[in-house]
């Protein structure tokens, strides 16, 4: 089976495109070297990948500059050499002048070196500073108002929580009192029922048979007065 024909168009998959570039670049450099050696040709090859990486080949014994210079002589083209030093010096001078002007302007705003400023510029500077102060105060008042609104919002939330807690405690206290008042009559009725069941005690023996929960009601027999008996 022969190889399938690959359409000559851009490979969309980046990984496949990079692999294909590496393989074909190696093959191109090999063929270029073979052509240079077999045919004694002077060849200069420069390749730039999509990532900006440069790869070049030059016939042995020559430099790429020599081959490019020979190409220019043969074709009659010339790469112009631009001397940008004067242009760079001019731009540097302009930047230094602008920097100096900005530094002087900043010193004026901080109140330094005011002796060389004329009255008109001083008046204009005063108005600019007043406008700046007004803007600063407006921003300051805005921030203070925002903080005040936040504090008021927190205060309302805390008041609502406090009110809810007070209502809950009040309801719990009422329920507790109602539960205690209902329990007392029940206990009293149980005590009465206990005594009515045993009947009215007529002797010490019947009192001894009362359940233990009523042991708190103990009877104490009266002791005879010995002094009265001796008399």
User: Is 92 in the same domain as 50?
Assistant: no
Q: Which domain holds residue 106?
A: 88-116
CATH code of residue 19: 3.40.1810.10
Domain for residue 93, yes or no?
A: yes
User: Is 50 in the same domain as 97?
Assistant: no
User: Is 111 in the same domain as 144?
Assistant: no
User: Is 142 in the same domain as 126?
Assistant: yes
User: Is 129 in the same domain as 149?
Assistant: yes
Residue 189: pLDDT band by 50, 70, 90 thresholds?
low
Q: What is the pLDDT of residues 69-128, one digit of tens each?
A: 888 888 887 766 666 778 888 888 999 999 988 887 777 777 776 777 777 877 888 888
Q: What is the pLDDT of residues 59-80, one digit of tens each?
A: 988 899 899 888 888 888 776 6
Residue 45 has pLDDT above 90, yes or no: yes
Structure tokens at 207: 């009192």
Domain for residue 97, yes or no?
A: yes
3 state SS of 49:
coil
Residue scoring higher pLDDT (212 or 103): 103
Domain for residue 191, yes or no?
A: no
User: Is 154 in the same domain as 166?
Assistant: yes
For 70, other C-beta atoms within 10 Å of its C-beta total: 13
pLDDT at res. 129: 85
Domain for residue 36, yes or no?
A: yes
pLDDT at res. 215: 46
Residue 206 has pLDDT above 70, yes or no: no
Q: Helical H runs in the chain?
A: 14-39, 64-75, 85-109, 119-198, 204-208, 226-230
pLDDT at res. 229: 45
pLDDT at res. 137: 93
3 state SS of 93:
helix
Angle at alpha carbon of residue 193, lines to 190 and 197, rounded to 5°: 145
Domain for residue 163, yes or no?
A: yes
The domain tally of the chain equals 3
User: Is 100 in the same domain as 58?
Assistant: no
Domain for residue 44, yes or no?
A: yes
Read off the pTM.
Answer: 0.35
Domain for residue 125, yes or no?
A: yes
3 state SS of 45:
strand
Structure tokens at 200: 């009215």
Domain for residue 141, yes or no?
A: yes
CB contact at 8 A, 11 and 24? no
């Amino acid at each position: 089976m022969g190889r399938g024909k690959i359409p000559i168009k851009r490979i969309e998959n980046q990984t496949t495109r990079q692999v294909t570039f590496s393989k074909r670049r190696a093959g191109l450099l090999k063929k270029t070297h073979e052509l240079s050696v077999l045919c004694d040709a002077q060849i200069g090859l420069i390749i730039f990948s999509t990532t900006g990486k440069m790869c070049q080949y030059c016939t042995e014994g020559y430099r790429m500059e020599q081959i490019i210079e020979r190409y220019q002589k043969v074709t009659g083209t010339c790469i112009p050499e631009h001397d940008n030093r004067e242009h760079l010096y001019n731009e540097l001078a302009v930047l230094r002048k602008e920097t100096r002007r900005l530094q002087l302007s900043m010193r004026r705003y901080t109140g330094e070196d005011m002796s060389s400023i004329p009255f008109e510029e001083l008046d204009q500077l005063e108005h600019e500073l007043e406008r700046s102060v007004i803007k600063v105060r407006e921003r300051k008042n805005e921030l203070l108002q925002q903080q005040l609104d936040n504090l008021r919002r927190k205060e309302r939330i805390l008041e609502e929580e406090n009110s809810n807690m007070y209502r809950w405690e009040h309801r719990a206290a009422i329920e507790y009192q109602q539960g205690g008042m209902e329990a007392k009559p029940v206990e009293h009725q149980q005590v009465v029922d206990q005594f009515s069941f045993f009947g009215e005690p007529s002797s010490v023996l019947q009192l001894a048979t009362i359940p233990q929960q009523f042991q708190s009601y103990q009877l104490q027999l009266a002791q005879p007065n010995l002094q009265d008996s001796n008399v």
